[in-house]
């Protein structure tokens, strides 16, 4: 009886987690007639019409390319800076460590609106509205706390002896970091990279403000603003949504251990 209840709970959790999105994937494979029919069509005809139309009429591939570029660049830059800062915070003698970590935590909790106006003005002054760097810079700023916190926690778990040995062998500080510590902290780097990429891939608020020209917009902006002539193009929206989500689902399936570790690192001490 108890076992049955447990299995039912598991089943309900899985169904509730997956079903709404599967319904949307299902919708992306329907004809417009099937999408609006009542009762709903549960087995779609499998047409790829929505995908073709999303690519041809809505420039889906442009959005994908922009998203790949912005999220990729953000990840590379944030990780590089986080490795440096995380190492210093975890392994070196520095003053005001608490203050620095605290200010990062504070930034990670900033509501975007509290900096949106000024960031927009700064970017406008630099002529960087509607440019990739104009979006990458706020993304790097907002993902740095995440990256630094994860890497600080990874670096501080590494044994001191290896570092000492490298020193005795005559490695300088920078060499020790790049040759010894970074390879050892590779799992942490990877974990942080996944989370930062997901953040940048999904971010909508700043993308909406900064990218007003369609040619530079990222996927979330595109998906939010798809407009039909009379009704909403649900097939195309569902198709673009599927395209935006499939890479993330693959990442989750392949790297769930790292994600779980990253989300709970620093949180539980």
Task: Give 100 or 184: the residue with its C-beta nearer to another protein.
Answer: 100
Residue 40 beta carbon to another protein: minimum distance, rounded to whole angstroms: 6
For residues 30 and 47, what is the distance between their CA atoms, to the nearest angstrom? 6
Q: Out of 50, 75, 241, 258, point to the residue binding another protein (CB under 8 A).
A: 241
- CB 186 → another protein: shortest distance, Å? 18
Residues whose CB falls within 8 Å of the CB of residue 72, separated by 6 or more in sequence, listed in order: 197
**Selection from 26, 22, 64, 62 nearest residue 44 by Cα:** 26
Length of the chain: 269
Exactly one of 188, 234, 239, 258 binds another protein (CB under 8 A); that residue is 234
Find out whether 145 and 104 touch, Cβ atoms under 8 Å: yes
The least distance separating another protein from the CB of residue 24, rounded to whole angstroms, comes to 5
Cβ atoms of residues 176 and 225 within 8 Å: no
Q: How far is the CB of 48 from another protein (least distance, A)?
A: 19
CA atoms of 158 and 161, how far apart (whole Å): 9
- Quick one: which of 59, 112, 131, 175 contacts another protein (CB under 8 A)? 112
C-alpha of 148 from chain center: 15
Q: Which of residues 118-147 bind another protein (CB under 8 A)?
A: 118-122, 137-138, 140-142, 144
Q: Quick count: other Cβ atoms within 10 Å of Cβ 123?
A: 21
Stretch touching another protein by CB under 8 A, among 47-55, 56-64, 182-190, 238-246 = 238-246
On whether the CB atoms of residues 208 and 119 are closer than 8 A, the answer is: no
Q: How far is the CB of 56 from another protein (least distance, A)?
A: 20
Binding residues with another protein: total (CB under 8 A): 98
Q: Which stretch binds another protein (CB under 8 A): 49-57, 125-133, 185-193, 259-267?
A: 259-267
Q: Are 50 and 34 in contact (CB under 8 A)?
A: no
Binding mask 54-83 for another protein (x = CB under 8 A): ---------------------------xx-
Could you give the string, one character per residue 27-56, with x where binding to another protein holds by CB under 8 A and - elsewhere?
Answer: x-------xxxxxx----------------
Asked if 49 and 235 count as a contact pair (C-beta separation under 8 A), the reply is yes
Residues 158 to 217 in contact with another protein, rule: CB under 8 A: 173-174, 177, 198, 201-202, 204-205, 208-209
Q: How far is the CB of 159 from another protein (least distance, A)?
A: 15
DSSP 110: -
DSSP assignment of 55-66 = HHTT-HHHHHHH
């Amino acid at each position: 009886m108890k076992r049955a209840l447990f299995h039912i709970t598991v089943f309900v959790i899985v169904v509730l987690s997956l079903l709404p999105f599967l319904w949307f994937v299902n919708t992306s494979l329907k004809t417009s007639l099937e999408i609006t029919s009542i009762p709903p069509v549960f087995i779609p005809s499998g047409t790829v019409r929505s995908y073709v139309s999303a690519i041809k009429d809505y420039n889906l591939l442009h959005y994908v390319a922009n998203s790949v570029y912005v999220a990729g660049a953000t990840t590379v830059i944030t990780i590089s800076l986080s490795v440096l800062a995380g190492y210093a915070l975890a392994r070196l003698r520095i003053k005001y460590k608490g203050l620095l970590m605290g200010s990062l935590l504070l930034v990670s909790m900033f509501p975007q609106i509290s900096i949106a106006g000024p960031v927009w003005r700064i970017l406008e002054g630099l002529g960087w509205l509607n440019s990739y760097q104009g979006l990458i810079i706020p993304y790097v700023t907002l993902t740095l706390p995440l990256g630094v916190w994860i890497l600080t926690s990874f670096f501080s778990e590494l044994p001191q002896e290896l570092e000492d040995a490298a020193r005795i062998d005559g490695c300088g500080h920078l060499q020790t970091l790049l040759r010894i510590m970074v390879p050892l902290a590779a799992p942490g780097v990877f974990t942080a990279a996944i989370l930062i990429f997901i953040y940048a891939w999904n971010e909508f608020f700043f993308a909406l403000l900064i990218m007003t020209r369609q040619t530079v917009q990222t996927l979330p902006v595109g998906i939010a603003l798809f407009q039909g002539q009379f009704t909403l193009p649900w097939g195309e929206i569902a198709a673009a949504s599927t395209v935006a989500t499939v890479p993330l689902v693959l990442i989750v399936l392949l790297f769930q251990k790292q994600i779980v570790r990253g989300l709970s690192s620093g949180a539980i001490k």
